[in-house]
Amino acid sequence: MAELAVEPVFAALQRGFDASIERLCALLRIPSVGTDPAFAEDTRRAAAWLVERLKEIGFDASLRPTSGMPMVVAHDPDAPADAPHLLYYGHYDVQPPDPLREWDNPPFEPRIVQGPHGPRVVARGAVDDKGQLMTWLEALAAWKAVHGRLPVRVSVLIEGEEESASENLEPFLLANADELKADVCVISDTGMLGVNEPAITTMLRGILYLELRIQGPVRDLHSGMFGGAVPNPIHMLTRVLAALHDAHGRIALPGFYDRVFALEPEIRAQWRALPFDEKGFLAAAGLSRSIGEEGFTTLERLWARPCCDVNGIWGGYTGEGSKTVIPAKAAAKFSFRLVPDQDPQEVLAQTKAFLSSLIPTEYRWELVPMGMGRPIRVPTTSPFLGAARRALAIAFGKEPALIGCGGSIPVVATIKDRLGMDSLLLGFGLDDDRPHGPNEKFELVCYERGQRAHAALIAEVARLAG
């Protein structure tokens, strides 16, 4: 099929950039905090907004109910029948904005603020994932506006439960496999190493999120009457949490490393040559020194090694003053980041076995899984990856780096396992964007280049068909 030129699309994106910022701000004003029932209606409103926008730019779009938040599904009706088929994925849910006091402006009142890279938009969801999904949505809109049609087949899937482990996604993919199957999935929900350092993510860590609840006595006890003679669940909890790591920063669960892949020496060498600003990365968190598993660099620890973090812990008396009490209960939330070829189900079983071996029978305990996602690597030799490399090089004027990502996007493994599709992870976030934190932001220069990269990707993919 005939190629269509990308230059007029770039020109249209440039002319329409201010309007695209307005649209992003309109989406950011909808407080789609997916995990909080109080925001359920708002979250649905974000989905409806996307359906309207997709219809406006010429897609057949609909809201598809699930037992949780609806899926936004769209197809391009004018698609050339034999062209490559892209499935764009994004998520419209955002993390809770708390603590509100730490925001310079209300999280759902987006502001354009000047920074060292020029203007940026500050709001919850700016980079994760509203600003990023809008990069491809704007590129699709500009193609259709300029040429009247796209040179590739396009389908869209945007979910509203990514931040809470995508529970309804797998059943939805299975039930709609024929409709959603494409040649490759395109996702912008990751980062790059700097404004002028485009990147393609080729490795994502998986996740296993757990809550451990331990009970000692049936009710809180006077610690003078009982102390020294009865089990204290906080002691047991802190002991097992401390036992998760050994003195070398490794995770102590028997069998935990059995399936951990060995990073190829070529990739280690590539990563060591990346322009990673470790000092700046740590400084963004107010730190000056990193910690972790011995024998690995910071990037290797973040991208290619598993880890375990306690995310929250509670129990006993934490109010004003003192209270001499032995608490009945203690609990913690903790999570593992997993790497290929670890399996969250298997790590769950290892954790249970480990806890059983450590916690004596005087305590009652339960371990509740709160979310899982499998780790994944993306093949770096596919023609689609080649097209993505060229697209980023065109948009940024610089060859992209192949990087890893310490975060998790469970859909990527699900799409691979269930639909047999690989993903292209073209992310435009920066290390200091504060996703999930106060004053989350997205640089407008990243927004603009992201839009251009997606416009170029469409042209490069069309060209693959020859």
User: Where along the sequence are the contacts to ligand BES (CB under 6 A)?
Assistant: 128-129, 162-163, 165, 189-191, 207, 371, 373, 405, 407-410
Which of Mn ion, ligand BES, none lies near 138, with the C-beta cut-off 5 to 8 A by kind?
none
**Using the rule CB under 5 A, is 159 a contact of Mn ion?**
no
CA torsion through residues 452, 458, 459, 461, sign: positive
**Cβ closer to ligand BES: 207 or 446?**
207
**Distance between CA 8 and CA 419 in Å, rounded?**
34
**Distance between CA 32 and CA 40 in Å, rounded?**
7
Alpha helices in 4-115 (DSSP H): 7-15, 17-28, 40-56
**Cβ closer to Mn ion: 128 or 443?**
128
Q: Please give the structure tokens belonging to residue 220.
A: 């809180």
Pairing of strands 85-91, 111-115: unpaired
**Cβ closer to Mn ion: 161 or 189?**
189
**Cβ closer to ligand BES: 24 or 150?**
24
Binding track over 187-206 against Mn ion, x by CB under 5 A: --x-----------------
Report in angstroms how near the CB of residue 288 gets to ligand BES at its nearest: 22
Report in angstroms how near the CB of residue 107 gets to Mn ion at its nearest: 14
**Cβ closer to Mn ion: 189 or 433?**
189
DSSP 8-state symbol, 386: H
Report in angstroms how near the CB of residue 405 gets to ligand BES at its nearest: 5
Among the listed ranges 34-42, 133-141, 185-193, 384-392, the one in contact with Mn ion (CB under 5 A) is: 185-193
254 φ, ψ (degrees, to nearest 5): -60, 130
**Distance between CA 20 and CA 17 in Å, rounded?**
5
**Cβ closer to ligand BES: 154 or 411?**
411
Q: Give which of 370, 407, 446, 464 is closest to 206, Cα–Cα.
A: 407
Report in angstroms how near the CB of residue 62 gets to ligand BES at its nearest: 24
Report in angstroms how near the CB of residue 116 gets to ligand BES at its nearest: 21
**Cβ closer to ligand BES: 434 or 452?**
434
Q: Give strand pairing partners of 210.
A: 334, 369
List CB contacts of 363: < 8 A, sequence separation 6 or more. Answer: 214, 215, 216, 231, 233, 236
Which of ligand BES, Mn ion, none lies near 408, with the C-beta cut-off 5 to 8 A by kind?
ligand BES
> Which of the residues 91 through 150 are near Mn ion (CB under 5 A)?
128-129
Report in angstroms how near the CB of residue 412 gets to Mn ion at its nearest: 11
Let me know: does 50 contact 119? Beta carbons within 8 Å.
Answer: no
**Cβ closer to ligand BES: 151 or 206?**
206
Which of Mn ion, ligand BES, none lies near 410, with the C-beta cut-off 5 to 8 A by kind?
ligand BES
Report in angstroms how near the CB of residue 162 gets to ligand BES at its nearest: 5
Report in angstroms how near the CB of residue 122 gets to ligand BES at its nearest: 17
Which of Mn ion, ligand BES, none lies near 191, with the C-beta cut-off 5 to 8 A by kind?
ligand BES
Q: Give strand pairing partners of 269.
A: none
**Cβ closer to Mn ion: 126 or 221?**
126
Report in angstroms how near the CB of residue 409 gets to Mn ion at its nearest: 7
Report in angstroms how near the CB of residue 429 gets to Mn ion at its nearest: 9
Q: Please give the structure tokens belonging to residue 460.
A: 């490069």
DSSP 8-state symbol, 164: G
**DSSP letter for each residue of 230-299:** S--HHHHHHHHHHHTB-TTS-B-STTTTTTPPPPPHHHHHHHHTS---HHHHHHTTT-S----STT--HH
Report in angstroms how near the CB of residue 151 gets to ligand BES at its nearest: 29
**Cβ closer to ligand BES: 35 or 62?**
35
Q: Give which of 465, 410, 370 is closest to 151, Cα–Cα.
A: 465
Which of ligand BES, Mn ion, none lies near 190, with the C-beta cut-off 5 to 8 A by kind?
ligand BES
Let me know: does 49 contact 30? Beta carbons within 8 Å.
Answer: yes
Among the listed ranges 184-192, 219-227, 276-284, 334-342, the one in contact with Mn ion (CB under 5 A) is: 184-192
Q: Give every strand in the sheet of 329-338, ordered side by side.
A: 307-315, 329-338, 206-215, 364-373
With 0-12 / 13-18 / 19 or more C-beta atoms within 10 angstroms meaning exposed / middle / buried, residue 379 is exposed
**Cβ closer to ligand BES: 142 or 207?**
207
Residue nearest to ligand BES (CB): 407
* Interacting residue ranges for Mn ion, rule: CB under 5 A: 128-129, 189
